[in-house]
Structure 1
Amino acid sequence: MGQRQAEILQELQEWLGTPYVHQASQKGAGCDCLGLVRGVWRAVLGQEPVTVPPYTADWSETDRQETLWQAAQAHLVPKPCEDRQPGDILLFRMRSDAVAKHLGFVSHIGPAPSFIHAYSGHGVVESPLSTPWARRIVACFEFPERTS
């Protein structure tokens, strides 16, 4: 495992137990799935590349725009999902007919894969990357290299 992967995983461990709070991104205080990615970005890479505008729980659903996927493609590095490694970011479509709008970090690969995510009603947790979760994955990304 590379140094950056180890740094991401160490940071994620510190987020476990953070309560789920819509639109928040503060370790220990609250975050949603996007807020978890934002908070880990700040810890590992520094300042966020853009200011995230306010969003509702049902954002993008009515207009069917893949807003989160487009933002991920703009700021993260896409990679084949079959090549995912610990520290990579997974994008999920929670229903087959819905836009992709859930994110999580790969924490383990192999015979017992898992991921860390902020999940409504549960907070930041590590979950098995079971078949029901795995079939919802639509894209995989990694953080870009540091620029400074």
Structure 2
Amino acid sequence: MATLYLITLIIILSPITISLTFQVVRNFWTFKQIKNTVTKNNRYILNATNEFNIGKLYIDQKQWSKAITILDNCLYFSKIESKSPYLAAKHYNAIGFILETNQHRSIARRYYEQAFRLSPEYNIARKNFDRIRK
């Protein structure tokens, strides 16, 4: 009797198990394909975000030259201005802050202006640009 029960159970559950396995495999490959596409498109943005955070750490530690190097190299090599103008504006604004802090107001004004031009909705850049223009 137990054998008949197990055989019936196998007959009923096997198609369900096979169907679920195929769905899981299909979802896995779809997810992997989407992940690869997103990774290719956003690799520069993710790297730029990480580099911005590293730059902020250097700013907090008042290691100005390291911060400028990280932020400026990120702008130059990752070409984020076309991919994420807002993130590029944050980089320009941070460099402007460093320059202004170190008494290089005329150069800082250019960086603030570039940040404002790239992303007018970035209020911090707008305030810094308006303040240094006066």
Question: Which structure dedicates a bigger proportion of its chain to strand?
Answer: 1
Question: Which structure dedicates a bigger proportion of its chain to helix?
Answer: 2
* Structure whose alpha-carbon radius of gyration is higher: 2
- When normalised by structure 1's length, the TM-score is 0.29
- When normalised by structure 2's length, the TM-score is 0.31
Q: Whose RCO is larger (CA < 8 A, sep 6+)?
A: 1
